[in-house]
Amino acid sequence: MSMWTEADWVRTARRVESLQDEMIELQRALCAIPALCPSSGGEGELAKAQFLKRVIAALEPDLLEEVHAPDPQVPSGIRPTLVAKWKGRDSSRTFWIMTHTDVVPPGDLSQWKHDPWQAHVEDGRIYGRGVEDNQQSLVASVFALKACRLERVPLPMDVGLMFLADEETGSALGMEYVMEHTRYVQPTDLVAVPDGGSPDGSEVEVAEKGSVWIRVHTRGRQCHASTPEQGVNAFRAASALVVSLDSLYQDFPQRNAVFAPPISTFEPTKKEPNVPNVNTIPGDDVFYVDCRVLPEIPLEQVLAAVRRRADEVERRYRVQVEVEVDKISHAAPPTPADAPVVRLTVEALKKVYGVEARVVGIGGGTVAAFPRRKNVPAVVMGRNQETCHQPNESCVIADLVGDAKMFAYMMGAASA
């Protein structure tokens, strides 16, 4: 049973509300420190992590450490993850809240109403790149902890905050590195990853699909567009293959009601430039396919089905087709619906938002997959208005405060 009382909860919730202006100011400060991955033209998360470390140090954690994943692509040579812990009654277990510090590029600046790196407050929202993904949850976790400390809320178990690098480009230098090179996270721990959810907060994600990103390179022979008989049009062959890949939906028709959507998806996405001028038939063409696959379907079967279609296009169009795996992530074991961290999350959502939560699976990928692969139950939750990665990304201030209350409740109520 939790050590804290209803009176503790009421005091803590009120304290969270009193900290709203400070939350907004931390959002402003973090937004002004772009933490872009090198593949997005940035220098990584170091400056943001250093600033955040000073913020966390003021909360007097019992442990405050950095995990440095080496990365020669950034000037500092490292991708830092920040780890902080506060002791509770039971230090054999930790309730973790894991958020990430990196963000995506702003994209077309002409579509932004304001500078994406200068947070703007208007009509109950904070606008700026990263303010929802993932700074809403990051800031909420910090102020949940601060409220608990100010109100001297007794913690049933240790509480840990983890601020991860590299989430936006796959987590190899973030959560994956942490799980492989440290022992912070143990099988008896409770892991919350507030990097998803739904507008009303009612979705508690306990499972993720497998995913594979495929790079398809079609090789023909370049020639002048007025003499097509002298070449082999790689673009035409690639286009035929794109259309052919639609039939993957028929090859893999399985349905699983836990997931939304309840099917596997196979979508062509990125297209690389081929020729710079109109009057040249391209000899090379490259496109990508994003596949989100239900856990019961082996990814190897999907890759084999893509290869069969590529072979057909080779024969028909006299081209060579290379099918390469750009990134692959096998589905992690799902978190049991009755796991303590799921029950705690459902209870907190009811307490704070008054919603009846339901467990779901998603097609997207989060850092929750990495602890799950180590048999550590993890959930993904939160109020998410789905503006992430978009122009004019925004965070609803009421959701920021509400999520901080939810985390504070979970910190005080966490028990076996």
Dump pLDDT digits (tens) for 112-122.
999 999 999 99
- The end-to-end CA distance of the chain, in Å, is 8
Q: Is residue 1 included in any domain, yes or no? A: no
Which residues are 171's β-sheet partners?
none
Inside any domain, residue 325? yes
In the predicted structure, residue 415 carries a pLDDT above the cut 80: no
Q: What is the pLDDT of residues 279-296, one digit of tens each?
A: 999 999 999 999 999 999
- Catalytic residue among 8, 102, 189, 208, which? 102
* Domain interval for residue 265: 210-329
3-state secondary structure of 243: helix
Q: Which of 71, 132, 151, 167 is catalytic?
A: 167
* Same domain assignment for residues 195 and 66: yes
Q: Is 71 a catalytic residue?
A: no
Task: Yes or no: say if 216 and 327 are a contact pair by the CB < 8 Å rule.
Answer: no
Largest CA distance in the chain: 82
Does 361 have pLDDT greater than 90?
A: yes
Question: Which CATH number does the domain housing residue 290 bear?
Answer: 3.30.70.360
Q: What pLDDT sits at residue 416?
A: 53
Q: Which residue has the tokens 């601020």?
A: 163
Tell me the Cα Rg of the chain: 24
- Domains in the chain: how many in total? 2
Q: Rounded to whole angstroms, how far apart are CA atoms 403 and 409?
A: 10
Let me know: does 296 contact 209? Beta carbons within 8 Å: no
Of 281, 300, 329, the one marking the end of a domain is 329
Dump pLDDT digits (tens) for 301-326: 999 999 999 999 999 999 999 999 99
Tell me, what amino acid is at 107?
A: G
For residue 197, the model assigns a pLDDT of 86
Write the pLDDT tens digit of every residue in 34-81.
Answer: 999 999 999 999 999 999 999 999 999 999 999 999 999 999 999 999
- pLDDT of res. 226: 98
Region 239-250 average pLDDT? 98
| Residue 364 confidence (pLDDT) | 83
Active site residue 167: yes
pTM tops 0.85, yes or no: yes
Q: What is the CATH number of the domain that holds 42?
A: 3.40.630.10
DSSP code of residue 406: H
More confident residue, 365 or 91: 91
